[in-house]
Amino acid sequence: MISIVYESKTGHTKKYAQLLSKKLHLPIYSLKEAETKLNQNDKIVFLSWICAGKIKEKNNADKKYNIICYGAVGAYPYSDKYLAELKQANQIKTPLFYLRGGLDYSKLNFFQKILVKIVGITMKNKDENTKEMFKKGKNFVSLNNLEEIIKFMQIKHI
Ligand SMILES: Cc1cc2nc3c(=O)[nH]c(=O)nc-3n(C[C@H](O)[C@H](O)[C@H](O)COP(=O)(O)O)c2cc1C
């Protein structure tokens, strides 16, 4: 049985994991819960958030489980270029899906807020949604964004 395992700081990744679990009828665990629920090398879909270009806890999850595909949740808008950069920076060979999460300033500490604000100021060519997100926070989580990963799982794995 394949499980959905996630790592989330402010809730966007957890929401995607819940939506995916419901849609595919697969059990869902946080990475911490998985420690007691899953065995070494069990098959999982691993969803986690992006911090400074890196998928959080990826190395940890890689060591423990057999990862069928990854879902990386970030604040930036989707682009093929960004997906390719993520693949390279995180040394991913299995399929990787980008899921736009958002920003929730209320759940970030002082330094994280400053860091994210600086990224927002220095980022070029921002669309209106992205400008608004950096200004006051925004949530882009939607079932539609899971379309590709759902298709992949339905065709290949369940
Ligand atoms: C310190 C910090 C660094 C971040 N770096 C990136 C990044 O490199 N790329 C990106 O797309 N989003 C970045 N984000 C945004 C998060 O990935 C985004 O808020 C995501 O939705 C968080 O998921 P969560 O709610 O499950 O924790 C960063 C956020 C923080 C706080």
* DSSP calls for 13-54: HHHHHHHHHHHHT--EEEHHHHHHH--TT-EEEEEEEEETTE
pLDDT tens-digit series, residues 48-64:
999 999 999 999 999 99
Q: 49 and 12 in contact (C-beta within 8 Å)? A: yes
Task: Please give the distance, rounded to the nearest whole angstrom, from the Cα atom of residue 102 to the centre of ligand 1.
Answer: 7
Q: What percent of the chain has pLDDT over 70?
A: 99
From the CB of 12, is ligand 1 less than 6 Å away? Answer: yes
Per-residue pLDDT, averaged over 89-113, amounts to 97
Q: How confident is the model at residue 36 (pLDDT cuts 50, 70, 90)?
A: very high
**Of all atoms in ligand 1, which is nearest to the CA of residue 53?**
8
What backbone phi and psi angles, to 5 degrees, belong to 16? Answer: -60, -40
Q: 132 and 3 in contact (C-beta within 8 Å)? A: no
The structural domains of the chain, with segments of one domain joined by +, span: 3-104+139-156
What is the CATH architecture assignment of 3-104+139-156?
A: 3-Layer(aba) Sandwich (3.40)
